[in-house]
Amino acid sequence: MKSLLVFIVGGLLLVGCVSQIGTKSPEAKADLEEAKILEVAVKYYDAFINKKYDAIGSITQTPFVSVGNEETLTFQTKDDLIQHYRSIREPLDELNYSHSENYYRKIHFLNNSLAQVESSYGRVNKKGEVFHTGKGIYFYRKANNSWYLIGRVEAAK
């Protein structure tokens, strides 16, 4: 009888342990989602710096909204969005653009599928001088277990 009781209790403990495999605390899940968003952000910065326009297309969704100091633009297609990024990035070569630096980044989850990332950055020339600074809020949406950039509000100086 004791061995039957030990067998039953052991079986229940084993089932309980197996059912916990793969479950994570809310904090661990949030950290994982933050890491996924930051991975997209890094791809975005790399694509912008290195003129990898197709990569911008792969990490964004349309329609895409871009709000700046003087205008609000909506892009319905990836081709239009990529053309917009090209029109921003290409003229930077004339300013000897080298790279961008991020000074601040804070992620806020609005719900399980929407997040905003507050960011400040500087654009640096080949001499190491910052020639442009800005702050922005970047909007991300989770679809099919992946995060995509869907818009941005940018205040440039």
Q: Would 77 be classed as within a structural domain? A: yes
Tokens of 49: 């710096």
Report pLDDT digits (tens) over 4-19: 444 444 444 444 444 4
**Does residue 72 fall inside a structural domain?**
yes
Residue 136 falls within a domain, yes or no?
Answer: yes
Task: Give the range of the structural domain holding residue 99, as residue numbers without chain letter.
Answer: 26-156
Q: How far apart are CA 72 and CA 74, in angstroms?
A: 7
pTM over 0.85: no
d(CA 149, CA 59): 6
| Whether the Cβ atoms of residue 130 and residue 116 lie closer than 8 Å to each other | no
pLDDT digits (tens, 9 = 90+) for 135-156: 999 999 999 999 999 999 999 8
With respect to residue 7, please indicate whether it lies within any of the assigned structural domains: no
Number of compact structural domains in the chain? 1
Tell whether 140 is covered by a domain: yes
CATH (domain of 66): 3.10.450.50
